[in-house]
Chain A
């Protein structure tokens, strides 16, 4: 390198490193801001119109759908083109016995997210894989086989739908334990519980690029492009 003359070496020149540090840092920051704008556009919640269009055309439009996604059946299936599982939004189904208007759905989701923060779920569970590792990941909890018809939770809570079973469990979790490590009673009200269930259902519809992988897999089902998620 340029070392014939000690004084001429750029490699030991503070000013060279300072300028390079400034350039690389500045570039990284600007690129991160650019990427952030791009990502913000892609992860903002969609509208109800987007959602209807997506269902009608059978293709995904928003990575994070509108709150009204709680009015639809949600599944999580292997996608051949994407190479991993993706959420699939299906036909309409009632949520707590009714269809929720965009306004009502948004308000319910708001209550749910507030409750999730206020009750500090993330210091026991993970959401989207982030949080604590004491209790199961909740990213796709809505789709867990335990909550579905024929699963243990509806029978245990004496309810007929996933949402009612979840709401009942959340209001009194230590009354419906399935493991020695129980979830404590956090004083969640009936209304808050509905909100939390809406939040969980909405979260299960977010496109997480295939995380968790092979969710509740059964090998045969997985091969045929489905999972045991429902």
Chain B
């Protein structure tokens, strides 16, 4: 699709290499893992403040 998914060409296979096959896949993955818990922290703080 628009050449966005690329074949794997690096020397050794690895989990991160696999995630790196389309531009931004790795990035989106990492940011999701970072940002989602912060949303959770936000709501948990809000609950605490309400009390």
Contact flag A8-B41 (CB < 8 Å), given A42-B11, A60-B11 = no
Q: Which of A70-122 contact B (CB under 8 A)?
A: 81-83
Given contacts A2-B46, A13-B45, A27-B34, contact A81 B9 (CB under 8 A): yes
The answer to whether the Cβ of B16 comes within 8 Å of any Cβ in the partner chain is yes
Q: Tell me which of A16-24, A132-140, A167-175, A222-230 binds B.
A: A16-24
The interface residues of chain A lying within 8 Å CB-to-CB of B48 are: 15
- Given the complex, which residues of B lie within 8 Å of A27, measured CB to CB? 33-34, 37
B12 to chain A, nearest CB (A): 5
B37 and A23 form a contact (CB under 8 A): yes
User: Within 8 Å of chain A (Cβ to Cβ): is B4?
Assistant: no
Could you say which of B9, B16, B33, B34 contacts A82, with CB atoms under 8 Å apart? B9
Name the interface size band of chain B: 20 to 34
- Number of cross-chain contacts by CB at 8 Å: 50
Are the C-beta atoms of A31 and B38 separated by less than 8 Å? Answer: no
Instruction: Please report the C-alpha to C-alpha distance between residue A35 and residue B20 in the assembled complex, in whole angstroms.
Output: 13
Interchain CB contact under 8 A, A63 and B50: no
A13 & B16 in contact (Cβ 8 Å cutoff):
no
Residue from B9, B16, B30 within 8 A of A83 (CB atoms): B9
Q: Using a CB–CB distance below 8 Å, which chain B residues touch chain A?
A: 7, 9-12, 14-16, 30, 33-34, 37-38, 41-42, 45-46, 48-50
List residues of A whose CB falls within 8 A of some B CB: 2, 7-10, 13, 15-16, 19-20, 23-24, 27, 31, 35, 38, 41-42, 60-63, 81-83, 207
